[in-house]
Structure 1
Amino acid sequence: MPSDSSPKMYTSNLDVKPFVPPGPNDSRSPCPALNALANHGYLPHDGKEISLRQLIRALTEVFNLSTPLALVLAVGGVLLCGSVAKLTLTLHDLALHNRIEHDASLVHDNAHVGDKFAPTPVDPVLVDRLLDEAEAEDELTADFFGKMRARREAEALVKPLNFIHANFARGESALILTTLGHARPGDDITHRVVSVDAVRDFLGKERFPDGWVKSKETIGLFTIAKLSGIIRKAVLANSS
């Protein structure tokens, strides 16, 4: 049974721990947020047998997710992909195909037919295509992510994502906007925008962008649900 002693958490916006890329024996997932937490030492760097307590603590203290949202994400990961007996999760187990992972990721290739696990390395071609589209934008919005999701789903899917995985996919984009982005003057947390450079570092390199600061507002279930709804409308508007 692994210890619940966690690495020192993020304590201030000037205290981001250094980025250390994964080694050949380290475990990583299709989730850039969890990979970044491991790469910066907020989760065990080897990515193996991470306790439920460690997951919840990292999500709440580093990203300022609400405890209910962190519980949903962490408990869901352990129940669907981890060890229920030990209440632990190894990051690579999140690549189990069609559990939480799904086809038509913005930056990962689809699982090959018959494979138990989806690819975990970022596909540089997909990253470049996303960033090429992003370069035309001043700042990236929910509408941009909806447009990119519509394009990716059109090219990568034989049949549409089911209801659950479609919600997962939109929720992932909502989390990028809320954890990496900032609100324009007068806007609330559901209208955040994110810079191209931040997306390049976070999705392409699985590291925190230089100068990143965590959200001053706690990110909760309602916020993610509302922002996911905005992204859903953009997906539908850009689907043929």
Structure 2
Amino acid sequence: MPSFTTTLQLVAIIFWDIGLALYNLVAPKYKPGCVVPLGQPGAGGVWPAYVKPKPGDSRGSCPALNALANHGILPHDGKAITFTELSRVIETTYNFAPSFCRLVPLFAADMLGKSYTKDTFDLAELDKHNGIEHDASLTRKDSYHVPDQSEPYVPYIEELLSYASGTAEDGSELLMPDDISRFAAKRRLEAPKENPNFSLEFIHKFFGSSNASTMVTIFGGRISDLEIMLLEERIPDGWESRILKRKGLTMQAFNNTVLKVERNTKKIMAAVAAHGDQVAADSEEHGKQG
């Protein structure tokens, strides 16, 4: 549980976020191509060179953070990162709201027993099991099977992306919130059968739906971008966040998607429990046909 001091800060951040959400309602949006601030890595779609991690480099289970290190936006070795630096970088790169960018690193610092303002961390430290990292991930095998969570599990990612049922205006494939729910339900049903130490508390279900929801918010569900980000942990050439709001993706806005994903995941699992494997088979087939 967060400390008392951290809890007070979290409450303040929530009110800050509400104010940012209200500002976004009236402020003009960024024009496409202008989301990343001038002078920052990625401005105009020009990202620093991608370099694969070297032996001894620190990586974790979050593709978006690994990509920042692979491009040198965070230290390439993934080590001695300040929490304040992380806040700044995820705001300028992905256009999350500053409130969101403060909340997540603050929670991570508290989870690790560190100071948000004074201490540093390595990316691998964020994979403290059942801290933020959890079982039934959509892109990783459970830590019971693979303690090192730095490597994406390609079969999961390919299956997830195969569920895409949406179509963009240009005809490209889109991953939709319901597609994520179908695969998340499948993972939550299958993982306990393979992992005798399986656990998934409410907060970790929420983390799972939150992480997955970035695919359809920040990345707009575009399969062509998600393939590169999830499989290579690389930011696509010319890419920018799909969030054009002036103050970025607030928690208020983000939670609309997160709650939809989580709610539909539970509905699918309940249907499977009531009607058996046919529901799961129908859900999987729908994703493949999407």
TM range (shorter): 0.7 to 0.9
Tell me the CA shift for residue 133 of structure 1. Answer: 3.1
Q: Of residues 200, 208, 222 in structure 1, which corresponds to 2:227? A: 200
Moved more, 79-88 or 25-34: 79-88
Give the equivalent residue in structure 2 for 1:151.
Answer: 186
Distance of aligned partners of 1:129 and 1:109 in 2 relative to their CA distance in 1, 3 Å threshold: same
- How far did residue 80 of structure 1 move? 1.1
Q: TM-score, normalised by structure 2?
A: 0.70
- Choose the corresponding residue for 1:216, options 244, 255, 268: 244
Take 1:12 and 1:27, find their aligned partners in 2: how far apart are those partners? 26
1: CA distance, partners of 2:239 / 2:106: 27
- Amino acid of the residue matched to residue 255 of structure 2? A
The 3 A distance-change label for structure 1 pair 210 and 234 is farther
Indicate which of 54, 57, 68 corresponds to 1:37. 68
Q: Could you report, residue by residue, the CA deviation over 1:197-231 in whole angstroms, capped at 9, with x for unpaired residues?
A: 21211111111123311232211111121111111
* Aligned residue identity for 1:161: L
| Equivalent residue number for residue 131 of structure 2 | 99
Question: Cα distance, 1:118 vs. partner?
Answer: 5.0
Tell which structure's C-alpha radius of gyration is larger: 2
Letter in 2 for 1:112: Y
Sort the Cα spacing of 1:175 and 1:207 in 2 relative to 1 into closer, same or farther, 3 A.
same
Contact 1:77 1:89 in 2 (8 A): no
Deviation at 1:62, TM superposition (A): 0.8
Separation in structure 2 between the aligned mates of residue 164 and residue 135 of structure 1, nearest angstrom: 28
Assess if the C-alpha contact under 8 Å between 1:82 and 1:93 holds in 2: no
Larger RCO (alpha carbons 8 Å, 6+ apart): 2
Does the 8 A contact of 1:135 with 1:196 survive in 2? Answer: no
How far residue 162 of structure 1 moved from its aligned partner, in angstroms, is 0.9
List per-residue Cα deviations over 1:16-38 (Å, max 9, x = no partner).
22211111111001011110111
Cα 1:44–1:203, aligned 2, differ >3 Å: closer, same or farther? same
Q: 1:196 to 1:126 in 2, by over 3 A?
A: same
Gaps of 5+ in 1: 1-7, 182-193
The gaps in structure 2 that reach 5 residues or longer are: 1-38, 168-172, 273-290
Contact 1:25 / 1:46 at 8 angstroms: preserved in 2? yes
* Residue 260 of structure 2 corresponds to residue 230 of structure 1: yes
Structure 1 length-normalised TM:
0.83
User: What is aligned with 1:90?
Assistant: 122
Which residue number corresponds to residue 104 of structure 2? Answer: 73
C-alpha contact (below 8 Å) 1:110/1:118 kept by paired residues: no
Deviation at 1:11, TM superposition (A): 5.5
Q: Secondary structure at the match of 1:106?
A: coil
